[in-house]
Amino acid sequence: MTWRLGVDIGGTFTDFALLDQAGQKLAIHKQLTTPLDPSAAVVDGINEILKKNNVPIADVSVIAHGTTLVTNAVIERKGVLTGMLVTSGFEDILDTGMEQRYELFDLRITYPEPIVPRNLRKGVFERIHFNGDIEIAIDMEQVLGATKELVETHNIKALAVCFLHSYVNPSHETSVVEFLKNEFPNLYVSASSEVYPNMREFERWTTTAINAYTRPMTDHYLQKLENNLNNLGFEGQLYIMTSSGGMLSPTTARRFPVRLLESGPAAGMLMSAVQGKAMELPNILSFDLGGTTAKGALVRDYKPLKSEQMEVDRVNEARKGSGFPLRIPVLDMIEIGSGGGSIAGIDERGLLKVGPRSAGANPGPACYSKNGENAALTDANLMLGYLDPNFFLGGEMKLDKRASEVAIEKNVGLPLNLSTLRTSWGIHDSASEDIARAFRIHAAERGFDYRNATMVAFGGSGPLHAMGVAEKLKIPRVVFPIGAGVYSALGLLASPLSFELSRSRRVIVDDIDVGMFSSLFESLADETTKSLKEAGVLDEEIRISRQIEARYFGQTHEIEVFFPEEESLENIFSGLRKLFEERYSEVYSFAVIDAPIEIINWKVIASGPEPDFKMGYIIDSEKSTKVEMAIKGSREVYFEKGGFQATTIYDRYLLAEGMEIVGPALIEERESTCLITVGAKAFIDPALNIIAELGD
């Protein structure tokens, strides 16, 4: 029997999901992340889950890996010293930014410090016009001198090459990269025309700078991981998850680490869409609450919403524009600084605040007994009775309730003059309200009516807060999927190999013929399929989809126009105006403008075969025949209305199809705990998912 293994590194825990090739048997595991060397937790966890299930490493055909390593490196500034070569006269682009204020009336706003400091940006004489014509040829002697100064004087380890119009003609950047490979073979060089060949130089240069900044670290990590897996005897394929919901080979991931920024969370969001298809629920609000952050995404008509842009390292978490704007394909997610390790404290107004600072895995919340002194969300949930101190991680990790009480009282309760109980509830409810508020804004901005949708809740802490968030949002139904505690790791096994690339080339549709139209897509198809072939995908297995970003001539913003995969480019070109106007009507409700159509960006997505992923898997355990047999006992649990109430505790692994549970109730599994609130009802479906309906 062959197996596939998903491994997701989070800020607090590393999750594992082991699924047999037939898609029938699932084994899961969770353990603390090792921040100083994340690969240590990966290797230890792989050994542990394989040992527990008597699976030899030789029987594992695929390891699919997601990681927050790149995100954390940017936020914590743990990349390498990076330099930049730019077109002379444009050295200050990273400082001027987009010249927009994310808070109009606050004179004290700040922005994150540029990844590449001003003294490490060197201008070189070169000039390519917007149409691709070369005005000033590049001087390689100047390139050599500037790079030599950066390497020998400043000791940079990586270099971003960013020229003004390289997206339309990359020849100068390409020649510099090839030249520097020979002159400085140990220098990691990233070219903007390869990382993000689009207009708008600030986003392009920021994206390229972060790619260069994280390349050495990503390369070393993947090399170490591959060596460790080889030492274990692993002979299968290693794949790396991207932010867009696709998989890459380690070779491609090394070149484009910026595409791994939302690596792990994207897998969970993709899995929610898979869950929706299996349950015939077209509209999903995907909710992931882990140890460090909460993340959400929207699924409309069975498809997760996607975007070409994201922000990282926001100075003001709630304000768009306060971080680094990046242009990469990504599942459209909202991130909230509320996780199990989120630290509770007092803000500048003297009010309770939860997050965004996190205690992480080390020292973690006070109850972890690792010398953590701050009160975290997990400490509050422990004090409210939601967590069993003797059954955390299935009893492998004991929680110290007294330490939680001391931390909450000292850091939050006494300054607010509140009892420890009320403070704990305040921490719990504040986190839920922060999450609900973020979802409201995210959904409103995308025209998504979540009141008739279904929430899919997962992550180590998601099932504890899901019902409370759903009640605030008036979402009628919450699904707690099987394996919810390691859902992102499971989602890694449902993700296909995929690589996408877009390139800016402004043209008026009436000014081109079908030959030029097709040729612009062909070059992109060649580049994207190359990445899949590196992962071992055969030519006949590669599926190509195409789209454009276009607008009426004279407009500022463009819209995405998707092409039917089965249509030839000749037929698409002949009906392009109709396709554009249909899409324009979807977005703006009308399309009666008598103006030329201008194409801005051309995009190709190359995908490998869909993984053989089947729903209906079970976690191996004995199933009870009556719901009473699944009862573990009861304990006092706090609810805002009614205070402490005797609450029945169920063993999730003993639940069987058709069982019904009336709230209040707690359903415990090794990796997470589901809270069914007062008045709500839940039942177990044929796939052993818990489906909770909110009470009146």
Same domain, 599 and 634: no
Q: What is the pTM of this model?
A: 0.85
Cβ burial of 369 (10 Å; 0-12, 13-18, 19+) is: middle
- 339: confidence class by pLDDT, cuts 50, 70, 90: confident
**Structural domain boundaries enclosing 408:** 342-428
Same domain, 513 and 543: yes
Domain finish residue from 576, 607, 638: 607
Same domain, 595 and 549: yes
- 404: confidence class by pLDDT, cuts 50, 70, 90: very high
Same domain, 571 and 631: no
Question: Is 261 part of any domain?
Answer: no
Question: Is 268 part of any domain?
Answer: no
What is the b/e burial string over 173-182, where b = at least 16 CB atoms within 10 angstroms of the residue's CB? Answer: bebbbebbee
pLDDT digits (tens, 9 = 90+) for 37-94: 888 899 999 999 999 889 999 999 999 999 878 887 887 788 999 999 999 999 999 9
* Whole-number Å distance between alpha carbons of 668 and 655: 11
Main-chain phi, psi angles of 20, to 5 degrees: -75, 160
Same domain, 381 and 424: yes
Domain finish residue from 607, 640, 668: 607
Question: Is 660 part of any domain?
Answer: yes
- 630: confidence class by pLDDT, cuts 50, 70, 90: confident
Same domain, 543 and 629: no
Same domain, 659 and 560: no
Same domain, 502 and 591: yes
The total number of structural domains in the chain stands at 3
Same domain, 598 and 642: no
Question: Is 47 part of any domain?
Answer: no
Residue 627 has a CB neighbour count (10 Å cut-off) of 18
pLDDT at 356: 77
Same domain, 649 and 587: no
State yes or no: cis peptide before 596, omega within 30 of 0.
no
Question: Is 505 part of any domain?
Answer: yes
Question: Is 603 part of any domain?
Answer: yes
Same domain, 597 and 628: no
Same domain, 588 and 679: no
Q: What is the mean pLDDT of the chain?
A: 89
- 624: confidence class by pLDDT, cuts 50, 70, 90: low
* Whole-number Å distance between alpha carbons of 621 and 624: 10
pLDDT digits (tens, 9 = 90+) for 414-470: 999 999 999 999 999 999 999 998 889 888 888 888 888 999 999 888 999 999 999
Question: Is 359 part of any domain?
Answer: yes
Question: Is 418 part of any domain?
Answer: yes
Domain finish residue from 402, 428, 454: 428
* 695 Cβ contact partners less than 8 Å away, ≥ 6 residues apart: 663, 677, 678, 679, 680, 681
